[in-house]
Each structure stands twice: as structure tokens, then as C-alpha cells.
Structure 1
Amino acid sequence: MVTRDGYNGTGNESKALNSNTIASLGTAELARRKQMTLQQAQAAGKHGKADVHMHSTYSDGSATIEQILQHVEHNTDLDVIAITDHDVIEGSLRARDLWREGSYRFDFIVGEEVTTKEGHLLGLFIEKRVPAGLSMERSIDLIHEQGGLAIIAHPLHRFFRHSCQRTVMDRIHAAQDVWFDGAETWNASFCGIYANGVAMSINRQRYGLPELGNSDAHSLSAIASGVTWFEGENATDLRTMILAGQTAPGGKLWNVGAYAQWVRYLVSKQGREARRERINTDIAQIA
């Protein structure tokens, strides 16, 4: 098991942040339930913009890897992205290969959204798939063993079964040998409509985890609706700022067009075939 103090030389920073009961440094000046605005980010020197939670056709997203890369390049001002499909990493690895072959202006992080027994968890900066259905602690360990970051996805939604609840966060917060590296306190999808304010408020009062904002995009038009503000311009800078507690969540919720684009895909022949393929894959993995 990886220890906090031994984790990539950054464990002491993470331990210090997780032991606080106040907001992390990146959100200390924000109102308890508010995300950071563009003007606030610029004033704080946080000129980097990242969106490290989005989905492709490798899981339940409507856009291909190639479409996502082209869209981010030409239709956003994002500096860093990660593709985090549900319980698969192949799409993200494929995206990195294409990104390396191209001349994109943004940086790329390999990631996965892991379905644990107690909520979804983002694994960033990883190379190997983390299996679904494990405990939160074991999932975090498998991410840390690869040198990755474990970020809670859309936490504290009372009615969403894949949202990590306070009892779990309390348990991890009290542990000495396992920890979260951050929390997604702004989720631009339906998962955040109720829970974003709750997540920001409770995190700033209780956990003091570094905060991220993400789109959780399932369609192209949703990408960059949620963002993480940070000092720097690339993935290395983003990682450093997360571990230093210097990131802040920002953005807006999905618009109607983003929902419509995703629903059209889900009911299309392509979407139905993709769902059947995922179900068959899940059955094969269980067997």
C-alpha cells in the first residue's frame, strides 16, 4: 500500500490539506457555496483552465475520441483535458496516442471514471484500468499505486446512487493510510444541479480538499461548461496545483443543447448498439 508521506514526494502536502477543516488555499477567498468566476480567476493569477471529466463513445458519451480532440482544439480555450470513460481506459489511451501524433495546443491526461461500491471516483494520471466494483479504499489505492490522483466525482448528491456520500468521505478523511487528492465540487451535468452548492459548502467547512470543476460532458457542446482554474498552462502545472490545494472550481451548468445532443445519440441506432456492446462487455468481465 502507498503511504501518504511516500506518495511521489507530495504526501506531506496532501496530508496537511486533508487534516484541515477549512477551505483549501484555492477557494479560501470564495463564498461558501460559490464557484470561481473568470474575473476572480484572473485576479488570483489562475489563468489555466482544465476540464478533466468527460466521456466518449468508449462509454456513454456521444462523441468519438477524434471529435473530442478536434472540438477542444478549435472550439474551446481549455489548456488541459482528460477523457474519463466509465470503467475503461482504452479510449483515453487511444486519445493520448492521437494527441501525441498531432500538434494540439492543449495538454492531455489519461483518466478513468471508476465505479466503486460507494460512488464514482476519477483516476487521473494513470496507465492501467482500475476495475469496477471495488471498495472506495481499494480503488484509491490502485490509483495511487500507479502514481495517479484520486478525485471524488460529483460527491454528496443525496439521490444519485453513484455519488459518494458523507459517511464515506468521513471514513476516508479519518483514515491514516488512504486519502482523496481532491473533490469535484462543481459538476456541470445534472449530477451537480442539486449537489454543487452542498459539496462546496461541506468541503470548505469540513474536509478542505483541493477543489476541481468539470463538465462531465457526454456531448461535444457540454465540454468546458465546467472548469478547474489553476496557475500554469499544462498537465504538470495542474497536478502541482491540485496537490498544493491551489485549484478552484468554475463554470456553468449544461445548457439545453447539451442535453438534446446526448439524448439524440442515446436513442439513435449507434447509441443503442453501443449500449448493447457495453452490456456484453460488462457481462464478459463479470464471468
Structure 2
Amino acid sequence: MLTSKRDQGKIDPENVSHGTAMLKKRRKMTSEQALYSGKHGKADLHMHSTYSDGCATIEEILEHVQNNTDLDVIALTDHDVIEGALRARDIWSKGSYRFDFVVGEEVTTTEGHLLGLFLEKKVPDGFSMERSIDMIHDQGGLAVVAHPLHRFFRHSCQRPVMDRIHASKDVWLDGVETWNASFCGIYANYIAMGTNREVYRLPELGNSDAHTLSAIGSGVTWFEGKTALEVRAAIEQAASAPGGKMWDMQAYYHWVRYIMKDKELREARRPAIA
């Protein structure tokens, strides 16, 4: 059985890729391949609520996942806040939801966005990628780089940073999001998959990066099992795989409409200049 990089200091590069071993260099896992390989679990570990720049409340997200998706695990990962995820977990724990829930945060580092999963407290933003990873690990969380290697997106972690972390003996990433269903993944997903399988060989995740209800579940992480602990184990053992599709036009329409409406409300509240 594989152990995590946290336990052994370095993931064995000869073993790390078995989650995506059956896939071509730049291909995500299909539902047929997931079924064949025993990965029946579906997780979406990257989405946003009104606690940051998402359109939906946490109550709406929980109800939507329950009634309109077949996801087994979700994580709420608002930008640089954790209060929404903690509140969502509290509501989830008191309900009878059929899916499991993970507290997360999308941390803004000085070198790109980083997902912290299985958190209990906020990870401060504005630090280097390495320091942010350490702060996630200090509280027992998993550090997953979000939507990397997008040449034109300023919050995308770039190759020199990935290379630096890969070469380090003291800091490590627990995974990489190689399928991001939003605009952040356009063309960059294929670069991320190919580069990771050639160079870094990190465990791979697929996520929606949803900012609207309709986008939730568009990107998925395939894994063996159904629970949050099992998706965590799959990531730690490099047995997860990315899958899904891109956002549809409805998701873009709803998000842009929400942003424009929010801007109008903020401008209306702005005090008039005498």
C-alpha cells in the first residue's frame, strides 16, 4: 500500500501515477473508464458560495447537490475565507444529506491559488506558495494547487514555482487540479495533465470551480469509495483521477448576470460625492 508524501518525505515517482496510469498523456477519465477501474465515487472539491464570489448561498448549494447531482463528496472552497464552509458543515451535520462534506478554502498566495482541504481554521492569504502549503499541512489538511499552468491567468501557479516545489525536500503538494471546468481550465487543463504526467507525477483531481449552481459537478474527482475519508485516502495514495466537462453557457450567463447585479447594488449604496 502506498503512503503519502507527508509520511515518507517524497512520493515514489515509480508508484505515484497509478490513478491515471490507464489514461493517455492529456486525457481525463471517462465514466466508462472510472467504472472499469473501480472508481465509483465522484467528488467535486472546488466551488464557491456567496461568502466569496459565488452566486449561491450555502443552503442553496447543499440542497442542489442533494437533489440535482450524483456527487458523493463536495468541498466548499471560498476565496480566503472559511466561515461559509464551517457554517455549511454545521448545517450538513444536522441534516440527512446523502453526500459527505469537506471544509476547504481557496488560498490566494503570492504565486497562485492553492486549495486547502480538510481544514479547521482559515489559512491566511498573501504568503508564498511554500509557506501556504506549510500552513495547510500544519493543521492536517491537504494542499492542492488549483488550475495551474495557465499562461494568462494571474492566479494560476506557473512552471517555475511548480518546479521549485517539486525539487524541494522540505515542502510538497498533495495533489494538482488537472481538470478545472471553468474558464481557468480552457487549454490549460491539457497542459496541466501532460506536464504532471511527464514531470511532477502528483495525484490528480478534477473539480468544477463552480460559481453557480448549474456548474457544480461539471468537474469531478473519481475515486474508490463514497466518503470524504476515502477520497482523501485516494488522493494521498495517488489513486484519484480527473474527469468531467467544461462549464456550459448557462453557468457563464448566471455568473456574469450575478456579478453585474452585485456591481449595480454596490454602486447604488455608494455615498454621493457633494
Please tell me the TM-score bracket, short chain as reference: over 0.9
- 1:12 deviation in Å? 3.7
Choose from 165, 168, 183 the match for 2:158.
Answer: 165
Q: What is the match of residue 265 of structure 1?
A: 258
- In the aligned structure 1, how far is the partner of 2:88 from the partner of 2:143? 20
Contact 1:82 1:108 in 2 (8 A): yes
Q: What is the match of residue 281 of structure 1?
A: none
After TM superposition, the score normalised by the length of structure 1 is 0.89
Q: What is the match of residue 237 of structure 2?
A: 244
- In the aligned structure 1, how far is the partner of 2:147 from the partner of 2:65? 22
After TM superposition, the score normalised by the length of structure 2 is 0.93
Q: What is the match of residue 215 of structure 1?
A: 208
Q: What is the match of residue 81 of structure 2?
A: 88
Choose from 222, 225, 233 the match for 1:229.
Answer: 222
Superposed CA offset, 1:117-144 (max 9, x none): 0000000001111111101111000000
Give the 3-state SS of the residue equivalent to 2:39 in structure 1: coil
Give the 3-state SS of the residue equivalent to 2:232 in structure 1: helix
Give the 3-state SS of the residue equivalent to 2:114 in structure 1: strand
Superposed CA offset, 1:52-91 (max 9, x none): 0000000000000000000000000000000000000000
Shift in alpha-carbon separation, 1:250–1:237, aligned structure 2, 3 A: same
Task: Find out whether 1:196 has 2:180 as its counterpart.
Answer: no
Shift in alpha-carbon separation, 1:14–1:81, aligned structure 2, 3 A: farther
Q: What is the match of residue 24 of structure 2?
A: 31
Contact 2:4 2:236 in 1 (8 A): no
Q: Which runs of no fewer than 5 residues in structure 1 stay unpaired?
A: 1-7, 278-287
Q: What is the match of residue 15 of structure 1?
A: 10
Give the 3-state SS of the residue equivalent to 2:10 in structure 1: helix
Counterparts of 1:46-195 in structure 2 under 5 Å? Answer: 46-195=39-188
Superposed CA offset, 1:218-258 (max 9, x none): 00000000000000000000000100000000000000000
- 1:264 deviation in Å? 1.1
Contact 2:5 2:172 in 1 (8 A): no
- In the aligned structure 2, how far is the partner of 1:170 from the partner of 1:241? 24
Superposed CA offset, 1:87-119 (max 9, x none): 000000010000001000000000000000000
Letter of the 2:30 partner, please give it: T
Shift in alpha-carbon separation, 1:59–1:272, aligned structure 2, 3 A: farther
Letter of the 1:183 partner, please give it: V
- 1:188 deviation in Å? 0.1
- 1:23 deviation in Å? 6.3
Aligned residues: percent identity? 67
Give the 3-state SS of the residue equivalent to 1:115 in structure 2: strand
- In the aligned structure 1, how far is the partner of 2:75 from the partner of 2:252? 21
- In the aligned structure 1, how far is the partner of 2:231 from the partner of 2:86? 19
Q: What is the match of residue 280 of structure 1?
A: none
Q: Which portions of structure 1, spanning 4 or more consecutive aligned residues, are displaced by more than 6 angstroms? A: none
Cα RMSD, aligned residues only? 1.9
- In the aligned structure 2, how far is the partner of 1:21 from the partner of 1:116? 30
- In the aligned structure 2, how far is the partner of 1:78 from the partner of 1:86? 22
Letter of the 1:92 partner, please give it: A
Give the 3-state SS of the residue equivalent to 2:18 in structure 1: coil
